[in-house]
Amino acid sequence: MERRTIRKTIKIQGTGLHRGQKITLHLRPLESGIVFIREGIRIPATPESIVDTRLNTTIGSGGVTISTIEHLMSAFYGLGITDCEIEVDGDEIPAMDGSALPFVQHIKDAGTKVLGKVQSVMIPSLMRVSHGDAWVEASPGSFCIEYGIDFPEPAIGKQAYTFSGNGFEAEIAPARTFGRLSEVDMMRSMGLALGGSLRNAVVVDGNAILNPEGLRFQDEFIRHKVLDILGDLWTIGRPIVGLLRAYKANHSLHITLAKKIYALIKA
């Protein structure tokens, strides 16, 4: 695969999902990996930099953190961006519409530049992490993601999706983050979802979708889970050659697997 960066600086503004603050991003060309900057602190987007996986993926260094990087990272995966500098004037990435599509569109408008070649990481044997009945694993084979979820709410229920690496922009990037109405008060008591609304998330209540426009896909929920794992695993910094399977997983399990795979590269 080719290493790739953006061709020119991109300015993106929006509201953070969890803190609810107005955020400005400046994405700039770079030739040394994906690096976030806040308050002058440079934080590489690697598994080693991840400090929190509570309902999002947060990186940090020297007491400075940047949360909710997974949708932007997923857009980087979809467009093959391996190198970029992202300066943030707040503590999280803007939610935009709750999906990766706005980031994809901004990057495509700016254009990209090839830097050279990047070596893939081959999965040599079964690697599995689990918590209760939730799990995620990687095994030898061609790249593919098989993901399954099972929620008690009839509006979500059981869904499964297989992504073989093609059609990211049309089939995965538009899928929005989602939440259950019953969880909103709990999340806000934790200082999360303060900027959440029906403009940047799908909200369900039992068998009802509360968003007036409805869903973008009948199975938008599972597509967003695929979006999340792609963004979380892109912190490895190179493509994975292997079969990835997940069931009822979350950012914590995604990142635990990413750290195991990253250890292979460092070794």
Please identify every residue annotated as catalytic: 251
How would residue 262 be classed by pLDDT, with cut points 50, 70 and 90? Answer: very high
pLDDT in tens, 37-83: 999 999 999 999 999 998 899 999 999 999 999 999 999 999 999 99
Distance between CA 97 and CA 195 in Å, rounded? 12
pLDDT score of 145: 98
Mean pLDDT, residues 22-35: 97
Distances (CA, A) of 266 to 142, 200, 214, 245: 22, 37, 45, 23
- Count of beta carbons in the 10 Å neighbourhood of residue 11: 11
Average confidence (pLDDT) over 168-193: 84
- Is the per-residue pLDDT at 213 higher than 70? yes
Q: Encode 169-197: b = buried (16+ Cβ within 10 Å), e = exposed.
A: eeebbbbbbbbbeeebeebeeeebbebbe
CA dist 93 → 169, 178, 195 (Å): 20, 17, 12
pLDDT of 191 reads: 66
Domain ranges of the chain: 2-119
- In single-letter form, the type of residue at position 58 comes to T
Supply the pLDDT for residue 194: 65
With a cut of 70, say whether residue 159 has pLDDT above it.
yes
What's the mean pLDDT in 169-185? 90
Average pLDDT, the chain: 94
Q: 2-119: what CATH class?
A: alpha beta
pLDDT at 192 over 70: no
**Where is average pLDDT lowest: 8-22, 127-141, 155-169, 200-214?**
8-22
> What's residue 1's pLDDT?
84
pLDDT reading at 193 higher than 80: no
Q: What is the pLDDT of residues 104-124, one digit of tens each?
A: 999 999 999 999 998 999 999
